[in-house]
Amino acid sequence: MNTKSEARMQKSECRSEPASGHHESYFWPEPPADGQLVITGSEARHIARVMRHKVGNMIGVVDGAGTEYEVELVEARAVRVAGRVLSTKSGAREPKHRVTIAQAVLKGDKLARVCEQATELGVTRIIPVQTARTVGRLSAAKLERLRAVSLAALKSSTRTVLPRIDVATELGELLATSSEFDQVLVAYEEETGPGMGEVLDRKAASVLLVVGPEGGFEPAEIDALQAAGAVSFSLGPRRLRAETAAVAVAAMALGLLGDLG
Domain C-terminal end among 90, 106, 124: 90
Residue 44 has pLDDT above 90, yes or no: yes
The domain tally of the chain equals 2
Q: Check whether residue 113 and residue 168 sit in a common domain.
A: yes
Q: Check whether residue 79 and residue 104 sit in a common domain.
A: no
Task: Say what the pLDDT of residue 164 is.
Answer: 97
Q: Check whether residue 120 and residue 184 sit in a common domain.
A: yes
Max alpha carbon distance in the chain (Å)?
79
Domain C-terminal end among 62, 90, 118: 90
Q: Check whether residue 186 and residue 217 sit in a common domain.
A: yes
- Taking CA atoms, 77 is separated from 69, 81, 210, in Å, by 19, 6, 45
Query: What is the distance between the alpha carbons of residues 196 and 219, in angstroms, rounded to a whole number?
Result: 20
Can you give the pTM of this predicted structure? 0.86
The 3-state secondary structure of 75-118 reads: EECCCEEEEEEEEEEECCCCCCCEEEEEEECCCCCHHHHHHHHH
74 three-class SS: strand
Tell me the Cα Rg of the chain.
22
Residue 80 has pLDDT above 50, yes or no: yes
60 three-class SS: strand
Is position 156 within any domain?
A: yes
Q: Check whether residue 64 and residue 36 sit in a common domain.
A: yes
Is position 170 within any domain?
A: yes
∠ at Cα 217 (211, 218), nearest 5°? Answer: 160
Is position 261 within any domain?
A: no
Helices and strands (DSSP H and E) totals, the chain:
8, 12
Q: Check whether residue 57 and residue 159 sit in a common domain.
A: no
Domain C-terminal end among 50, 68, 90: 90
pLDDT tens-place string over residues 124-143: 999 999 999 998 789 999 99
- Taking CA atoms, 52 is separated from 17, 224, 246, in Å, by 7, 54, 37
- Taking CA atoms, 90 is separated from 31, 64, 255, in Å, by 13, 11, 22
Q: Check whether residue 30 and residue 50 sit in a common domain.
A: yes
Q: Check whether residue 62 and residue 138 sit in a common domain.
A: no
Domain housing 43: 3-90
Residue 5 has pLDDT above 80, yes or no: no
Is position 233 within any domain?
A: yes
Q: Check whether residue 156 and residue 86 sit in a common domain.
A: no
CATH of residue 192's domain is 3.40.1280.10
Q: Check whether residue 136 and residue 205 sit in a common domain.
A: yes
